[in-house]
Amino acid sequence: MKIKPANPKGVKDLLPREMARRNYILDKLREIFSKYAYQNIQTPAFERLDTLMGKYGEDEKLLFKILNSGEYLHDETVQTLLKSEIYDAKEITPKIATKGLRYDLTVPLARYVAQHQNDLSFPFKRFQIGAVWRADRPQKGRFQEFTQCDIDIVGSKTNLHEIEILYIINDFIQEIGLKAKVHINDRKIFDAIGQLLKLDDSQKKQISILIDKKEKISAESYSNELTEILANEKDFEDNTKFNNFIDIMNSTTIDDLIQKGIPKEATESLQFILENAPNPELIQFDLHLVRGLDYYTGTVFELKPIDINIGSIGGGGRYDDLTSLFGLERMNGIGFSFGLERIEFCLDQKEIFEFKSSNMIRIIILHLIENTKELISLRKNILENASKNLIIDIYPEKSKLDKQFQYADKNKFDYALIYGDSEQKQGKINIKNLKTFQQETLNLDDLTKFINKNI
RNA sequence: GAGGUCGUAGCUCAGCUGGUAGAGCAGCGGAUUGUGGUUCCGCAGGCCGCGGGUUCAAGCCCCGUCGUCCUCCCCA
């Protein structure tokens, strides 16, 4: 039976040239992360479900769960559940799935830190690059498997880290030549607004969703929705509440906020960060930035490209208590995650992928004689003795010359070595520059010398 | 989770109001017996995503399913 070659939904294969681009981006990120003293770690692709559950809020349903292996279906409770008329996924799921694919790299980090606390020294700065999985419906810039490039600092409260992260972002986008802005806010400010206006938890939740999408909806539906959220109690106060809220949200500076009654404590860390940011052009104070992930408690930021419609290409924030869920108290964390696929998309759009063809020189040995061994040892000889960075391929079989040249052409070789029966007899070899079409005949023994000197 | 779009040769796509498939590119062979980005000629390549239904007849219509791309929600 023939099986149709196709990927499952939402995942992609990568062609060599796509992989080359990714590596271009990843090399830059790794270099910058390392330069700022972050250490590389790795965690498994899947985690215990209890590690993952309860940390992502609404999006929890996007977790990929892994069916248990073995005889779990014979378990009595599962049998009862399966036979019962009442089908309740909430009851069955934990019986048949106890593992899940990681949803991000932050929660696994919290687990990792709690688990290995004795082997780590704090503050712990780490970077991690890896795939994460979300059972989302795919669309532009959104996949079920994608790569996050994370930096996090665990075990330090100071806002120096926010500033450091901003420096890293700045370095990176300059390095790759991308125009983007970091939107920044602090959840403490939103909480303070809530307190000031005496909003209850459900109102806060609804409003946070609303302000997050303010840019996308009309002013009219914004104020309609806002009225609806605020006006579920009958008193006249609601109207002033509405006006107060609008007034506060229109603030463009921290001073503005303080004047409107937001306590200093809520704003001072953001103030400090803004004052010390690397590049004022880069940063935008954005009161409407919320971010959905439940675990953030302080600074939040999002990196958005200018003129490219792809959403954010990175995001992060401060989470004050993530490790306490794993029994490690009073461990503050802050991190940021770059989304590899979306960065790739941006570079693609802007056509700024002129990654200098590496300084490797590509040589192909054409296959014109029966004795393959001689070609293999020719390659070995050159690789061992040449002082240049060479990539050397041997055409796999003896065949027509023009075919071999076509292969060389398509694979962008720089030089071809022509060594056939006549050269073999005379102890010569031809080296042809495939860009200039120029060809030279050398003594076989002089080949390495020639390569070192002339190419 | 809601809505839309598309699925035909390796790739990009045509295929009329239903009458059992076509182009370009790529591949292979030749013109050209050891010199590549051009040209010309030829060859091969298809469960028309999969399953069911309607019909004398389905690539085309209907239902389901898998996948693609996109919008909303949310997010990297």
pLDDT tens-place string over residues A374-422:
999 999 999 999 988 899 999 888 888 888 888 888 788 889 999 998 8
Q: How confident is the model at residue A223, as a pLDDT?
A: 81
State which residue has its Cα closest to the C1' atom of B47: A2
The contacts of residue A157 (CB under 8 Å, 6+ apart) are A332
Query: Does residue A284 lie within 7 Å of nucleic acid chain B, judged by its CB?
Result: no
Question: Residue ranges of chain A with pLDDT lower than 70?
Answer: 1-3, 73, 78, 81-82, 84-90, 232-238, 351-358
Tokens coding A91: 């009851």
Query: Does residue A131 lie within 7 Å of nucleic acid chain B, judged by its CB?
Result: no
Question: What domains sit in chain A, N to C, each tagged with a CATH number?
Answer: 16-63+103-349 (3.30.930.10), 361-454 (3.40.50.800)
* Distance of C1' in B11 from CA in A364, Å: 27
Query: Does residue A425 lie within 7 Å of nucleic acid chain B, judged by its CB?
Result: no
* Distance of C1' in B39 from CA in A396, Å: 29
- Which residues of chain A between 143 and 172 are close to nucleic strand B, CB under 7 A? 143, 146, 148
* Distance of C1' in B56 from CA in A421, Å: 69
Torsional sign, CA A201, A207, A208, A210:
positive
- Which residues of chain A between 363 and 402 are close to nucleic strand B, CB under 7 A? 368, 400-402
Cα A350 to Cα A23, A99, A260, A315, A325: the distances in Å are 18, 40, 42, 21, 43
Q: How confident is the model at residue A356, as a pLDDT?
A: 47
E runs forming strands in A164-288: 180-186, 283-285
Query: Does residue A344 lie within 7 Å of nucleic acid chain B, judged by its CB?
Result: no
* Distance of C1' in B72 from CA in A143, Å: 17
Nucleotide nearest to A315 (CA to C1'): B76
Query: Does residue A263 lie within 7 Å of nucleic acid chain B, judged by its CB?
Result: no
Q: What pLDDT digit, counting tens, does each position of A413-439 carry? A: 889 999 998 899 999 999 999 888 889
* Distance of C1' in B45 from CA in A1, Å: 19
Chain B nucleotides reached by a protein CB under 7 Å: 1-3, 27-30, 32, 34-37, 47, 49, 66-76
Q: How confident is the model at residue A429, as a pLDDT?
A: 94
* Distance of C1' in B10 from CA in A6, Å: 14
Q: Which residue has the tokens 């109690």?
A: A233
The contacts of residue A339 (CB under 8 Å, 6+ apart) are A146, A147, A148, A149, A312, A313, A314
* Distance of C1' in B6 from CA in A1, Å: 27
Specify whether the CB–CB gap between A260 and A248 falls below 8 A: yes
DSSP A12: -
Nucleotide nearest to A216 (CA to C1'): B72
Query: Does residue A330 lie within 7 Å of nucleic acid chain B, judged by its CB?
Result: no
Q: How confident is the model at residue A242, as a pLDDT?
A: 81
Exposed e or buried b for every residue in A142-152, given b needs 16+ CB within 10 A?
Answer: bbbbbbbbbbb
Nucleotide nearest to A420 (CA to C1'): B34
Residue A377 is which amino acid?
S
